[in-house]
Amino acid sequence: MKKTAVILGMHQGTMGEFDQTRTDCDVFVFNEMVSRGAVPHADYVFQLHKPVVWRSSQNRNDSKHYDWLRSTSIPVLMQEKFEDVPASVKFPLDEMLKEFKGAEPYFTTTVGFAIAYAIYRRYKRIEIYGVEMETNTEYAHQRPCVAYWCGVAYGRGIEVDFHSRQFFQSPMYGYDGDITIRLEVFEKRAKAMAEEAKTVLEEYKKAKAQAIEAVEEFRLDFKNGWGKLEKLVNRQAEIAHSFSMLDGAIQVNQRHIKACKIMEAETGNYFISRQVYETEMNNSTNSWQAHQHKIKIASDALKEKEDELKQATSKGYRSRRCDEYLQLVEEYAKAIGKAGLLTGIGMESKYLMGVHDQNERMTGGKEAVKILAEAMA
């Protein structure tokens, strides 16, 4: 056993930074990395999946992985000692949990198990390559587990050298203020969307007038037909949704503009945290879902009135039903518009959250490093 454990993943960003010719470390790899030729050698292979995965010829990473397991002499850490895998070694989970008594048994990824195993085996240094788990991938939920066990290692005095382009590259909370979205961004977006909203509003007014005109024609003459009217009413609702989406996005930016100006007047600066965008996005999504039943009620009422009108050959009867129908069209358009408003709020908040995250990545904690360096000087 060497003093250094190298945990080698498959992410191409930093996997290549590891020198495969090194002999001063024990190399930990995962699953099919050796059998498929991704690495020339390893000292330990972690294969902690159920047998149904590694015994199957349907293995999507390497159909011959099971053949390799049956013939390899490299120690393979598995859930049990399996007779058909001569080099298999039972992963010492029970012993590790006793060793880490007081720590959380928090494992959502094999990389977490590998770090914990290195701690358990008393390695003095852990190097990690080829592990990124970007936030926009299926592996994002595994990141906290890896960070947790790195923290346990640090806490036990183990040196951790994590080769990553972005895993721990974040600004220091409360110290790095450059990640805020500038007031000018909110103002520019609000202004641009307000101009677009003016155009869409005129389209809505035109569509509404055309729908009313079609109803009036139908009121006077049953033979004018229903198909044209249905299309115009649907068009009115679609434009109501589009206009309200813009209105929702504008309202989001206007709220942030107001908040920034108040903060600047009170403190000389301003800052909108990511949680503000995320909360507004989540709230709008929940409200949108709750609003769907109101849309259904309005839609069902409109459909019921449409069915009546299609049979209204009597002019007097038809005229009364048309008045009721126009009122229901207005209510339906409002319900669709409310959904558009909530959609606009959610989409704009999501967009601003993305801008915030991009600013955060670009900042990269430089200001925090500067502050710490000055403090240690």
- Model confidence pLDDT, tens digit, residues 198-252: 999 999 999 999 999 988 888 888 777 667 788 899 999 999 999 999 999 999 9
* Paired tokens of 31: 């699953």
Q: Distances from the Cα of 110 to the Cαs of 149, 167, 295, in angstroms?
A: 11, 17, 47
CA distance 341 to 240: 9
CATH number of the CATH domain containing 26: 3.90.1480.10
In this structure, are 212 and 343 located in the same domain? yes
Please tell me the predicted confidence (pLDDT) of residue 60: 84
Residue 365 confidence (pLDDT) above 70: no
In this structure, are 127 and 207 located in the same domain? no
In this structure, are 157 and 261 located in the same domain? no
Please tell me the predicted confidence (pLDDT) of residue 372: 44
The pLDDT of 283-291, averaged and rounded, is 96
Residue 137 confidence (pLDDT) above 60: no
The pLDDT of 315-329, averaged and rounded, is 89
In this structure, are 157 and 189 located in the same domain? no
Domains identified in the chain, total number: 2
| 26: containing domain | 4-162
| C-beta of residue 189 within 8 angstroms of C-beta of residue 249 | yes
In the chain, what's the furthest Cα-to-Cα distance? 96
In this structure, are 310 and 270 located in the same domain? yes
> Which of 133, 162, 191 is the last residue in one of the domains?
162
Let me know if residue 237 belongs to a domain.
Answer: yes
Helix (H, G, I), strand (E, B) or coil at 167: coil
In this structure, are 158 and 187 located in the same domain? no
Question: Closest by alpha carbon to 80, among 94, 101, 97?
Answer: 94
The pLDDT of 103-131, averaged and rounded, is 95
Express each pLDDT in 148-196 by its tens digit: 999 999 999 999 999 986 787 766 666 655 568 899 999 999 999 999 9
In this structure, are 145 and 217 located in the same domain? no
Let me know if residue 173 belongs to a domain.
Answer: no
- Residues 139-145: contacts with CB under 8 Å, at least 24 apart: 139/109, 141/108, 142/108, 142/109, 142/111, 142/112, 143/167, 144/106, 144/108, 145/106, 145/107, 145/108, 145/109, 145/111, 145/112
Let me know if residue 176 belongs to a domain.
Answer: no
CA distance 198 to 246: 10
In this structure, are 143 and 199 located in the same domain? no
